[in-house]
Structure 1
Amino acid sequence: MTRFDDQAASLRRLSLGNALSASFAFLGGRASGVTTLVAELGIALGVTHGRRVLLLDGHAGQPLLRRFNLSTSETLDTVLSQQLALDAAVSPLGGTINLLNGYARPSVLAALSDVSAHRVQSEYLALTRDTEFVLIDAPTQTPLLAAVAGDIVLVLSPDQDGLTETYTAVKYLVSEFGRRKFNVLVNRVHSLDEAQHWFSRLSTVASEYLPVSLRWVGYVPEDHWAKRATVLKTTAVQSFDTSEIATAANQLAHALPLWATGSGVAHELFSRLCDAARLLEPDPSEIIV
């Protein structure tokens, strides 16, 4: 019996079938491995489980694009600034998976005219018409994408810096956007006990100072095959399917419908993003000259 048997059995019991049009923002500290996790989970959903998936990269440096060894494309920021078609920021990953470079400065989103916003929203709706899951690699420093996602998954790494960075992001999302519910996935640990230890530490500090609910959704092991897949510009799910990281990714992909709470939000993501960016812009009447 492997150490994943208990987790796998639990996930199978809890999985509830389809959760159409669900969006999940994954965010964590700099060493939490969010990009690798989103890549592995996206491939597991699309290739292994046959789901229709959109991966959304919220970083200016386009780590997901580089993760798949694709040529640099436009970002949502340049699409909006230069009035390009949204397709210029989309890279097909094959089969049922697409990648959207969704980085955009909040100031650009907030300043978008109604006409331009309507055009891009229409193109986004066309892109996601048949999409079942949007997985967002969300930046922690400016977690605007996380704020508007249907569900948030905190990716916690087993170190003090990761704990601090994750808590800071949660505090911002609570204070600025009223988010209260967070899923927690512990990454790069060596055992279930270690994962539960770090989850407990985050739960303790968060519950003491913030009005939040944290839900444990699992853990992903430290695995050298994940690092090898990164170097080779592939995923462990595709190339090392018997590895611990591939097993964990497939189990989590099977359970992902359970995590979803916001039906239909994936199709509204762009319009919600623009609205949230405008909330961050100062009211001209309140600016003191």
Structure 2
Amino acid sequence: MANFDFDQAEGLRRMLAGPKPRIVTFLSATPQDDKGAMLVNLAASLAHAGNDVLLVDACEGNNGVAARLGLDGGASLLTVARQECALNQVIHQAPQGFGVASMTRGDRMAGHYSAQDARRLAKTFDVLVKQAGVVMVDGEFSEDGSFPLPVMEASEIVVQVSTSAASITNAYALIKRLSQQLGRRPFGILVTNASEAEAKVVYDNMATAASRYLAVQLTSMGSVPADEYLQRAARLGRAVVDAFPLAGASVAFRRLAGRFALPGMTLPGRPGGSSHLGA
């Protein structure tokens, strides 16, 4: 029988602590431009729906979303961790309506990323995410099987994939490496440049293979169709939901934003939660 006093105390503790930051790390088996476009438009769609969104560029090189938006100059979270600037100096407001911050701006790749830096960076990130409702991380899974921060390992992890054979193969290999590094846990699958029917085939095949050969559960996050209005909006420096609200991609991103903004959003089986993200 449940302990009522314990449950009541735990509920009060959670109320006083406030909601936990919602952190989703995105990895991709698609070209970097496709990933950047997806992140920008999803973040803009979430912001358009009234969410406080922060997009963190955690890529080691200069091909992350901050560079795509031209917001990779200046200080990074690592600079804050080294007490060389204030936290508010690293958060830039994108014209699409959300905040952007760079994690290291290539410092890690340059060999200047010490264990002490890592600890301080983790603390800085913890402070940062408490200022946002939804934190989207443009991440990379390094060859050594590590993420820049342990919190990325504990966050929801979503893998972007397209309908091409190469992308599907790369996405499956990525999931295999993730499961070997992080253990048995679920991952989300987001299919881009695909119709709903095409995305269902991709997801079903990947979910079957992952379950059979890796004992890993995948969750469908939905899909975004190929749409020329995405490129048109990008050339205008705007999100597709803002520039062309009736476009097929806009409808898809609004649907995705609705899923990501659900209270208590978490992948099934993830430590700390059990509700579904998928359809």
TM above 0.5, yes or no, is yes
Report SS of the residue matched to 1:23.
Answer: strand
Q: Over residues 43-69 of structure 1, what are the superposed CA-to-partner deviations in whole Å (9 max), with x where a residue is unaligned?
A: 1111x2111111011222153224334
TM-score normalised to the size of structure 2?
0.74
Alignment-derived partner of residue 21 in structure 1: 21
| Cα distance in structure 2, aligned partners of 1:137 and 1:201 | 26
- Whether 1:160 and 2:165 are equivalent positions in the alignment is yes
| Cα distance in structure 1, aligned partners of 2:96 and 2:35 | 23
Alignment-derived partner of residue 16 in structure 2: none
Task: Give the percent of matched residue pairs that are identical in Structure 1 and Structure 2.
Answer: 25
For 1:95-106, list aligned pairs within 5 A: 97-103=98-104, 105=108
Alignment-derived partner of residue 214 in structure 2: 210
Alignment-derived partner of residue 36 in structure 2: 35
Structure 1 residue runs without a partner (length 5+): 1-18, 266-289
Alignment-derived partner of residue 50 in structure 1: 50
Q: Over residues 66-104 of structure 1, what are the superposed CA-to-partner deviations in whole Å (9 max), with x where a residue is unaligned?
A: 433446233445555784444453212269721111246
Alignment-derived partner of residue 276 in structure 2: none
For 1:36-115, list aligned pairs within 5 A: 36-46=37-47, 48-59=48-59, 60-70=61-71, 72-77=73-78, 83-93=84-94, 97-103=98-104, 105=108, 109=113, 111-112=115-116
Report SS of the residue matched to 1:260.
Answer: coil
For 1:1-289, list aligned pairs within 5 A: 21-31=21-31, 33-46=34-47, 48-59=48-59, 60-70=61-71, 72-77=73-78, 83-93=84-94, 97-103=98-104, 105=108, 109=113, 111-112=115-116, 117-118=119-120, 120-121=121-122, 123-141=124-142, 144=147, 147-189=152-194, 191-258=195-262, 259-261=265-267
Q: Over residues 128-169 of structure 1, what are the superposed CA-to-partner deviations in whole Å (9 max), with x where a residue is unaligned?
A: 333111111212455616852521111111111111221122
- Once the two structures are TM-superposed, the CA of residue 41 in structure 1 deviates from its matched residue by 1.0
Is the 1:226–1:236 Cα contact (8 Å) retained in structure 2? yes
| Cα distance in structure 1, aligned partners of 2:224 and 2:244 | 15
Higher relative contact order (CA 8 A, sep 6+): 1
| Cα distance in structure 1, aligned partners of 2:168 and 2:236 | 29
Q: Over residues 196-231 of structure 1, what are the superposed CA-to-partner deviations in whole Å (9 max), with x where a residue is unaligned?
A: 111122123322321210111211110011112223
| Cα distance in structure 1, aligned partners of 2:244 and 2:97 | 21
Report SS of the residue matched to 2:132.
Answer: coil
Alignment-derived partner of residue 268 in structure 1: none
Q: Structure 1 residues 147 and 70 mapped into 2: Cα distance closer, same or farther (>3 Å)?
A: closer
| Cα distance in structure 2, aligned partners of 1:182 and 1:209 | 15
Q: Structure 1 residues 69 and 234 mapped into 2: Cα distance closer, same or farther (>3 Å)?
A: farther
Is the 2:29–2:159 Cα contact (8 Å) retained in structure 1? no
Q: How many residues were matched structurally?
A: 243
| Cα distance in structure 1, aligned partners of 2:30 and 2:258 | 27
| Cα distance in structure 2, aligned partners of 1:122 and 1:147 | 13
